[in-house]
Amino acid sequence: MGRKWNNIKEKKASKDANTSRIYAKFGVEIYVAARRGEPNPESNQALKFVLERAKTYNVPRHIIDRAIDKAKGGSEESYSELRYEGFGPNGSMVIVDALTNNVNRTASDVRAAFGKNGGNMGVSGSVAYMFDATAVIGLEGKTADEVLEILMESDVDVRDILEEDESVIVYAEPDQFHAVQEAFKNAGITEFSVAELTMLAQNEVTLPEDAQAKFEKMIDVLEDLEDVQRIYHNVDLGE
């Protein structure tokens, strides 16, 4: 297990000459979470999670406030949560999560992104069974042994603790996300390099150079779609 989370985030940020795209997607996600419960992270766990994640991407405060204010203002704009599963070049597997106010547009755009880049859409369940829902939390300035001690003192169970580059990454069951964070916060740790609920592939594959180039283009096209929030796959990109 291990995805070099910081490198992936840095690559994503470097590709985004205009980070407003990332911020706009967070704005939608925050708005949706705030509308589905109280627009207060202390009483709305879904909103609390999104805000923790937004913090690791340095989303500006005004983006967050605007999305929450929109939810408080009783906006009637509604979004559907959609998950698409598909295959890329050489049978690689991809999961795409979207939030959309136009289901037909999103389905068409995602299908085109697959089809024009050597992939194809699959039916629900055709890919997801090869991934595990996982909480991923990363921090800097501690060793794996120190992190383990903190979690043991709080009686929090996790799947794995790995040192990756200059960070320690904790992998846990999704329902342990907040328990892990609280354990760290109780130990005085409030800054996280990663705070994600993700889908980790059970097995990664390495693609030949030509297939990888095509695969990366497909992922880039999917990421450019305004309705797409998250993309998970089983390809080792070698970062």
Residue 51 pLDDT greater than 50, yes or no:
yes
Specify the pLDDT at position 73: 86
> Residue 114: pLDDT band by 50, 70, 90 thresholds?
very high
Residue 171 pLDDT greater than 80, yes or no:
yes
Specify the pLDDT at position 74: 79
Please give the CATH architecture assigned to the domain spanning 130-201.
Answer: 2-Layer Sandwich (3.30)
Token pair, residue 91, equals 């049978």
pLDDT (tens digit, 9 = 90+) per residue, 54-112?
998 889 999 999 999 999 887 888 999 999 999 999 989 999 999 999 999 999 999 99
Specify the pLDDT at position 7: 47
Q: Distance from CA of residue 83 to its chain's centroid? A: 13
Specify the pLDDT at position 3: 55
| Three-state DSSP string of the chain | CCCCHHHHHHHHHHHCCCCHHHHHHHHHHHHHHHHCCCCCCCCCHHHHHHHHHHHHCCCCHHHHHHHHHHHHCCCCCCCEEEEEEEECHHHCEEEEEEEECCHHHHHHHHHHHHHCCCCEECCCCCCHHHEEEEEEEEEECCCHHHHHHHHHHCCCCCCEEEEECCEEEEEECHHHHHHHHHHHHHCCCCCCCEEEEEEEECCCECCCHHHHHHHHHHHHHHHHCCCEEEEEECECCCC
Domain ranges in the chain with CATH number 1.10.10.200: 5-72
Domain ranges in the chain with CATH number 3.30.70.980: 80-129+203-233, 130-201
Q: 1.10.10.200, 3.30.499.10, 2.30.110.10, 2.40.50.100: which CATH number matches 5-72? A: 1.10.10.200
Residue 177 pLDDT greater than 90, yes or no:
yes
Percent of the chain with pLDDT over 90: 73
> Residue 18: pLDDT band by 50, 70, 90 thresholds?
low
Q: 2.70.150.10, 3.40.50.1370, 3.30.70.980, 3.30.360.10: which CATH number matches 80-129+203-233? A: 3.30.70.980
